[in-house]
Amino acid sequence: MSPHPIRPIGLRRGSDGADGGRAVFRSADTATAAKGSGDDRTTCRRSRRDLHRLPAVGAVGCDLPPAMLDHARAKPHADQVRFEEADLRHLPDWGEFDVICAVTNPMDHLLTDEDFASALHGIVRSLAPDGVFLFDQLSERAHHRSVRHPAVRESDGQFLTCRTWQHTLPTEPEPVFTRRMDRFVRHSPGQWHRIAHQNTFRARSETSVRRLLTRAHLDCVAVHPVSRLRQGGQRDRSDEGVLFVARHQPRQGRHS
């Protein structure tokens, strides 16, 4: 198992009523996915405004750090969500869902194929037949760009530095990147407080992802480039990430 902390996903589960919609989302960023049973369309929105949809769909949200759960509970309309603490590698059995969505690249934090397969096992167990799993990952090109261009930003009396470096794992062929972010907050003249965050990512190729999905009985039906949303609403760099869409193809006899 990877020693690094794993950023988990969150789950949305719909009612058992007429709409029948169920969905899954990562609660910390309110990135959402919803599938309507009537028109069989899947939509993905990365906006906290989507929380207003929850009364019609119903939701269970999960994350790993308690502080992130508290942050999610404080958002508008969060009273429509039941939040649970869970690890992406060991998802509890919460029943079946039509859609599972893991965005803001939590799957990148699964450094070994064993961890990735463990996460997929719980996701497949939670998906209804023909259910959809959506997730994104940063591209290797985006990681290399971060290595070449360390960032320093100033905002509201705070300084933020971001550095990325590449290394390898003895048992894994694909590159691994570690990103460290340091936030310096001024408390008084001449006195600063530093808050550090460090995360490690594995840059899996599309071929590797497809192979792991197939082994988990997930059919990769679409792969889309993902761009970043800059301040002012402008999008930049379509090579920033990749969105995968996979459909559950259950083995015969798993469902009656």
For residue range 77-125, what is the model confidence (pLDDT) as tens digits?
788 777 888 888 998 888 888 888 888 888 999 999 999 999 999 999 9
> Is 3.40.50.150 the CATH classification of the domain at 11-139+204-248?
yes
Measure the CA–CA gap between 162 and 199, rounded to whole angstroms. 11
Round the average pLDDT of the chain to a whole number and report it: 74
Q: Which residues, including other chains, have CB under 8 Å from residue 99's CB and lie 6 or more apart?
A: 12, 22, 23, 24, 33, 34, 35, 42, 131, 132, 133, 134
Q: Reply yes or no on whether the pLDDT at 236 is more than 90.
A: no
Query: Where are the chain's structural domains?
Result: 11-139+204-248, 141-202
Q: Averaging pLDDT over each range in 3-12, 169-178, 208-217, which range is the top one?
A: 208-217
Within this chain, domains 11-139+204-248 and 141-202 share the same CATH topology: no
- Tokens standing for 182? 């340091």
Q: Given this model, what pLDDT does residue 181 score?
A: 93
For 183-233, what is each residue's pLDDT tens digit? 998 877 778 889 998 999 999 999 999 999 999 999 999 999 887 655 555
Q: Tell whether pTM > 0.75.
A: no
Superfamily of segment(s) 141-202: S-adenosyl-L-methionine-dependent methyltransferases (2.20.25.110)
